[in-house]
Amino acid sequence: MPSNSAIVEAEVPLLDDLASTVRSKHEHSDDEDQGTLARRSWIESKKLWHIVGPAIFSRVASYSMLVITQAFAGHLGDLELAAISIANNVIVGFDFGLLLGMASALETLCGQAYGAKKYYMLGVYMQRSWIVLFLCCILLLPIYLFASPFLKLLGQPTEVAELSGIVAMTMIPLHFSFAFQFPLQRFLQSQLKTGVIAWVSLVALAVHVFVSWFFVYRLHFGVIGTAITINFSWWVLVFGLLGYTVCGGCPLTWAGFSMEAFSGLWEFTKLSAASGVMLCLENWYYRILILMTGNLQNAEIAVDALSICMTINGWEMMIPLAFFAGTGVRVANELGAGNGKRAKFATKVAVVTSIIIGLFFWLLIMMFHKEVGYIFTNSEAVLTEVSSLSLLLAFTILLNSVQPVLSGVAVGSGWQSYVAYINLGCYYLIGVPLGFLMGWVFHQGVMGIWAGMIFGGTAVQTLILAIITIRCDWEKEAEKATMHMLRWADKK
């Protein structure tokens, strides 16, 4: 354990030393910026993909666990599919979005600390995040315990709500795994240790496939068995990443458990809460779409079809979310190092790359709109509904190739509170009312609800974030990040 004087020296450098570090970084940045646009883009792309590549794999693997669970349930029957879909997309999705968002505060703090070479603080920040998120998990526990009456209150069919409530209670261990896995992942990403995240995710996915097959087809546990399996897999992620961290994988940034984690919790909680609100307002948005659909006529078929589309969207969304993480880390690292110009260039490269990938998946959905539903069900009624919704699915994927990258810029820059207000206004004051209007007043059903929420909420929010990013003074943001690190070190 470092001495108090060593800690202070590591966390609060003299301003002269800090200025010297910033000047050195600027000189290095200027050298890199001398090349052609193609060469600069290639250099930045390599840095970005060093984070994004493993992040895509780890996120796809993690989300695939939920998809596999839903697929096993879908082949048990329409009711089972509806129950597991509601549990995954509403109950788990509710706190998943909040806790994931709260953990994204580490992308700002750890990313800027790593860029400023304040390595010791990364471990302290992560431990603070564990404490805050674990307490939040306890506060959110009633959502799982009282899921059935909660879903009935929201208008879900009684049979679906009852089975979804049972499924939700079996997922309580999954709920608590989020409090540790999300901070660990962001802690490692911020210091570019992304390979280990991918390898641990691969092991967890393999465990999940085996356990799912064993519980459903050997032990015949049915839909409850499919729900239980996800707990095993996510705790494999937690123990794998934790083992790597504490057993010597992070010698610079992990100095052991520290009582300093219990200091400065209020300031940390405020930033975590702002991050949580920013991201969960986005995450809950499409959960509301499923709940609104549950109040339509022939709700079981509509919920099944929409849940399949949302699952496919969520699966592909792991790629933009990897860019969200990669962009946040790149921007935070460069701002923490005082390189505003390179933070701006990193943003441009990330946006263009993500849009190209989004166009590819847009085309893929348009070409195979009749086949995508077979992954989850053999019901002709559900497959027909999925095919009719595929156009909206394709445009949702396209819009979501831009929006998460811009949110990543916000996280890397520490704009969470500002963006939370934008999300609240666009999604819930424009998107949800427009979706309701299109779905019920104009009798367009699920397509009207979805279209209103896409073009009224997501499109407007993306446009506003794009304008803010374009008009940003990056050199000023770099100066703010430098002073930000000093303030947080003082509040340790």
- How far apart (Å, rounded) are the C-alpha atoms in residues 465 and 406? 6
Query: Can you give the pLDDT at residue 133?
Result: 92
**Distance from chain centroid for Cα 304:** 23
Q: Are 179 and 99 in contact (CB under 8 A)?
A: yes
Burial class, 441, CB count within 10 angstroms (exposed 0-12 / middle 13-18 / buried 19+): exposed
> How many C-beta atoms surround the C-beta of residue 138 within 10 A?
10
Backbone phi and psi for residue 3, each to the nearest 5 degrees, phi listed first: -70, 165
Q: Which H/E stretch holds residue 429?
A: none
Give pLDDT, residue 3.
40
Decide if 89 contacts 287 (C-beta within 8 A).
yes
CA–chain centroid gap for 418, Å, is 18
Looking at residue 19, what is its pLDDT? 43
In terms of Cβ atoms closer than 10 Å to its own Cβ (0-12, 13-18, 19+), residue 153 is: exposed
Round the CA-based radius of gyration of the chain to a whole number and report it.
22
Instruction: Check: CB of residue 230 under 8 Å from CB of residue 69.
Output: yes
Which tokens in the block code for residue 97? Answer: 């979005």
User: Tens of pLDDT along the chain (492 residues)?
Assistant: 344 333 333 333 433 444 444 444 444 445 455 568 888 889 999 988 988 888 888 888 877 887 788 777 776 777 777 788 778 777 787 778 788 778 888 888 888 888 788 888 889 899 999 999 999 999 999 989 998 888 888 777 788 888 888 888 888 999 999 999 999 998 998 888 888 999 999 999 999 888 888 887 788 777 788 888 888 888 999 999 999 999 988 998 998 888 888 887 887 888 788 777 777 777 777 767 776 776 666 666 777 788 788 878 877 888 888 888 888 888 888 888 888 888 889 999 999 999 999 999 999 998 888 777 887 777 888 888 888 888 888 988 998 888 888 888 887 777 877 888 888 888 889 988 998 888 878 878 788 888 888 888 889 989 998 999 998 888 888 887 777 665 555 554
User: Residue 27 burial (CB < 10 Å; 0-12/13-18/19+)?
Assistant: exposed
| CA-CA-CA-CA dihedral for 12, 17, 23, 24, to nearest 10 | -100
Ramachandran region, residue 82 (left: φ > 0; alpha: ψ -120 to 50; beta: rest)? alpha
CB 154 within 8 A of CB 374: no
In degrees, rounded to 5, the angle at the alpha carbon of residue 246 between the alpha carbons of residues 245 and 249 is 45
Decide if 187 contacts 103 (C-beta within 8 A).
no
Which residues span the domain enclosing 445? 4-490
CB of 290 closer than 8 Å to CB of 314 = no
Task: Say what the pLDDT of residue 488 is.
Answer: 52
Number of domains in the chain: 1
In the block, tokens 């806790």 appear at 99
Its pTM stands at: 0.74
The alpha-helical segments, DSSP class H, found in 75-119 are 78-86, 93-103, 105-115
Residue 137: the pLDDT is 92
